[in-house]
Amino acid sequence: MSQHPFRFAVQSFSAPSAREWCERARRAEALGYTALHLADHILGPGPAIERAQHPIQELAAVPAMAAAAAATTSLRIGCRVFCNDYRHPAILAKEAATLDLLSEGRLELGLGAGWLRGEYEALGIPFDDAKLRIDRLEETVALLKLLMAPGQVDYRGRFWRVEGFEGAPQPVQKPHPPLMIGGGSKRVLQLAAREANVVSLNFNNRAGVLGPDGVKSGTAEATARKLEWIREAAGARDDTLELEIGAYFTFVTDQGAATAQGMGKAFGLDAEQMRRHPHALIGSADEICEELERRREESGISYVTLGDNVLEAFAPVVARLSGK
């Protein structure tokens, strides 16, 4: 797998006002971040989101992405990732192509099979077993590619049916906006290796909630196994794939050892395991730069998404590594 230049994205869930949301997007662009990502969660405050142990996402992804694109000139926009079961692929294809058109080709289209059981239940959407959800995602990927290509689409699948029309508008980026597929299971990652431009490495959230089980499924050892699955499925595509990961536990600090020890204790990991955890970046800016370069050399991971809580603190790392 070839080494891609470093890219950094910031992921955001909320903003108190339109002005502050647009200012955040412009600030991310000014600091050299490649993209602004949202997630795709629906629930507001209440017991359902508390049971799911997931942060509240106040902003709907599509309009927030459109606003961020309108406020910037080069920042890419994306959703990390759209939940496949929340909308018909034809609707998502139209929204995505419109975003790509109106942003003049700055969309990154992220897809996932869906995993937050409590959200499904709160919305009254059946939470099928993982095999069925991934089968449905695979069919969606095929249909999205048809809808973003010229020509009439007539598609009858196991889950989706589309007949008698062309996808409109057509996206600016050809043959379609860069496709990111994210997840932590072997089947999802191998689907991504075969079909996506960007493979997004995540926890295996088989428990349907955030917690220690998911964190332990993303350790260095577990991620090494995931990378083998990806390479096994990618074949000749291996050198073209970009590998992305969410650094959910990022602390730019001169007290890296103590911070890692405290974080690791919460997840049943020691300090060294926490500092080497692919979803964690803990240490000074210099230490983090060295760690990212080491990881890219060993694993090929070059695209990193950070939470907006470290937008400013992480900027020295972005400035040093962007484009390298």
The one-letter amino acid at 30 = A
* Residue 70 three-state SS: helix
* Residue 270 three-state SS: coil
Q: What φ, ψ does residue 115 adopt, rounded to 5°?
A: -150, -20
Per-residue pLDDT tens digits of the chain, which is 324 residues long: 568 999 999 999 998 899 999 999 999 999 999 999 999 999 999 999 888 888 899 999 999 999 999 999 999 999 999 999 999 999 999 999 999 999 999 999 999 999 999 999 999 999 999 999 999 999 999 999 999 999 999 999 999 999 999 999 999 999 999 999 999 999 999 999 999 999 999 987 665 455 666 777 788 999 999 999 999 999 999 889 999 999 999 999 999 999 999 988 888 888 999 999 999 999 999 999 999 999 999 999 999 999 999 999 999 999 999 977
Whether 103 is in a domain gets the answer: yes
Whole-structure pTM over 0.85, yes or no?
A: yes
Whether 20 is in a domain gets the answer: yes
Burial grade of 134 (CB within 10 A; 0-12, 13-18, 19 or more): buried
Burial grade of 150 (CB within 10 A; 0-12, 13-18, 19 or more): exposed
* 25 in Cβ contact with 13 (< 8 Å): no
Determine the Cα–Cα distance for residues 315 and 226; give it in Å rounded to an integer.
Answer: 29
Q: HSE-up of 285 (CA within 13 Å, CB side)?
A: 12
- Which tokens in the block code for residue 144? 């999205």
List, in sequence order, the alpha helices (H) in the chain: 18-30, 47-52, 61-71, 89-102, 117-123, 130-147, 186-195, 212-216, 220-234, 256-267, 271-276, 285-299, 315-321
Whether 1 is in a domain gets the answer: no
Whether 67 is in a domain gets the answer: yes
Whether 158 is in a domain gets the answer: yes
Determine the Cα–Cα distance for residues 22 and 290; give it in Å rounded to an integer.
Answer: 32
197 alpha carbon, distance to own chain's centre: 12
CATH number at residue 34: 3.20.20.30
- String of DSSP letters for 251-267: EE-S-HHHHHHHHHHHH
> In 3D, which of 296, 298, 316, 293 has the Cα closest to residue 306?
316
Whether 150 is in a domain gets the answer: yes
Per this entry, what is the length of the chain?
324
Whether 298 is in a domain gets the answer: yes
Determine the Cα–Cα distance for residues 161 and 157; give it in Å rounded to an integer.
Answer: 6
Domain of 168, in residue numbers: 7-321
Determine the Cα–Cα distance for residues 136 and 203; give it in Å rounded to an integer.
Answer: 20
* Residue 195 three-state SS: helix
pLDDT of residue 268: 86
Whether 196 is in a domain gets the answer: yes
Q: What φ, ψ does residue 91 adopt, rounded to 5°?
A: -70, -45
Determine the Cα–Cα distance for residues 113 and 83; give it in Å rounded to an integer.
Answer: 6
Determine the Cα–Cα distance for residues 223 and 230; give it in Å rounded to an integer.
Answer: 10
Query: For the chain, what is the domain count?
Result: 1
Longest dimension (CA), the chain: 61
pLDDT of residue 207: 57
